């Protein structure tokens, strides 16, 4: 895992957009983002039991797996949004980026690869993209029934209960 401020320069979203402003796992934790490097599924099972994740599935995001809808899907994942549940992803193969907003509303890019697990809190604005290899396989974990409902950023979301709780706890 490597985390850094996103350069905001034009160009393909799948490029690193690397800056010299590196962040540590504790910097991410201050934003409510938890990072783990877990080399085995048994380790993921233990974390899932500890945190109450009862369901999971796997997704492969690639042109081969998704066919003609790949480009549109990657663009939709990159739209800034939040979820009303934690988002938990365990990378089983390939690489990708999760971008989250910091306290100054700047993008922080989190580069993930095999055996990286990330937990984004409910209410955090974020987006996702593959890297230039166009391949990532990830396990998605859920506390309840699998649900992935993105709420795209808008002023209306300022009053969303999950957004308000996130802002109060981590940005206040």
Label residue 42 by pLDDT band (50, 70, 90).
Answer: very high
Q: Is the pLDDT of residue 149 over 90?
A: no
Q: Is the pLDDT of residue 118 over 80?
A: yes
Q: Is the pLDDT of residue 146 over 80?
A: no
Label residue 39 by pLDDT band (50, 70, 90).
Answer: very high
Output the known binding site for Ni(2+).
81, 83, 87, 126
d(CA 43, CA 129): 25
Kindly list the structural domains of the chain, giving each domain's residue range(s) and its CATH number in brackets, ordered by start: 2-171 (2.60.120.10)
Output the known binding site.
81, 83, 87, 126
Q: Is the pLDDT of residue 55 over 80?
A: yes
Output the known binding site for Fe(2+).
81, 83, 87, 126
Provide mean pLDDT across the span 131-140: 98
What is the Rg, in whole angstroms, of the alpha carbon atoms belonging to the chain?
15
Q: Is the pLDDT of residue 82 over 80?
A: yes
């Amino acid at each position: 895992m490597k985390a850094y401020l996103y350069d905001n320069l034009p160009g393909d979203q799948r490029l690193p957009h690397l800056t010299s402003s590196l962040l540590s796992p504790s910097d991410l934790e201050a934003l409510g983002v938890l990072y783990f490097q877990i080399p085995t599924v048994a380790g993921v099972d233990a974390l899932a039991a500890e945190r109450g994740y009862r369901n999971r599935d796997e997704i492969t995001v690639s042109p081969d797996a998704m066919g003609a809808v790949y480009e549109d899907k990657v663009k939709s994942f990159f739209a800034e949004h939040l979820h009303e549940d934690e988002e938990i992803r365990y990378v089983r193969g390939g690489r990708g980026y999760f971008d989250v907003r910091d306290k100054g509303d700047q993008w922080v890019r989190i580069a993930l690869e095999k055996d990286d697990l990330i937990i984004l809190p409910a209410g955090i604005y974020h987006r996702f993209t593959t890297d230039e290899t166009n391949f990532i396989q990830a396990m998605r974990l859920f506390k309840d029934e699998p649900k992935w409902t993105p709420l795209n950023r808008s002023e209306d979301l300022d009053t969303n209960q999950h957004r308000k709780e996130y802002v109060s706890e981590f940005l206040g």
